[in-house]
A and B are shown apart, each in its own frame.
Chain A
């Protein structure tokens, strides 16, 4: 079974600063995907970014980028030029994928990110 650990229950930064959210995972699988989802107060789960484990290049989506360290099983999210609208719960998630099939997502417990004006 896979586990996902987010060690920062809450973080607070000033608007326009850069912030990094940590995520580590434990798996014996070699093929998998990693995700960051954002959950604002509206409760909607919104995909932020996705990383395929077989890709060495770190994924980037506008102000959001990841630092994927496969050997260390680490998958951190960096938010540059943070904005008030980035205030939300952020969940790291893991999904295995192999010839034997796939699973649903395994989520961490989340990090509550607060952007201060």
Chain B
């Protein structure tokens, strides 16, 4: 039981490049979330998926898209990366929406 896994762990992009961050959970959770953490800040919600087949914007959705591929997987896509998107990205999941969230190990993304 790996919990929540994220790939890659580290990534460096050039401005304008695109990439997809992958997240998977093996806990049979219904809800999944993407957060970003900037230096000196707590985490901020980018997007969430309350259940399979649904996605909604969080606090800071601009510049991102998401896909809930199936119940296990929830990906985050940067279509045209910008330096302001340099951050650590965390994926989380919960049994149902509004329940305790469990986090993956994070992806450190640097955009040059």
A33 vs B45: C-alpha distance in the bound complex, in angstroms?
Answer: 16
- The residue that A104 contacts in the complex, of B40, B41, B45, B88, with Cβ under 8 A, is B45
A106 vs B98: C-alpha distance in the bound complex, in angstroms?
Answer: 12
Interface string of A101-115 (1 = CB under 8 A from B): 111111111100000
The total of Cβ contacts below 8 Å across the A-B interface reads: 58
Identify whether the interface residues of A are mostly helix, strand, loop, or mixed.
strand
Residue of A nearest to B105 (CB): A44
Chain A interfacial residues counted at CB < 8 A = 25
Within 8 A of A (CB), among B8-42: 33, 35, 40-42
Within 8 A of B (CB), among A83-113: 91, 93, 95, 97, 101-110
Chain A residues near B43 (CB, 8 Å)? 45, 91, 105, 107
- Does any Cβ of B come within 8 Å of A43's Cβ? yes
Binding site for B on A (CB under 8 A): 4, 33, 35, 37, 42-47, 50, 91, 93, 95, 97, 101-110
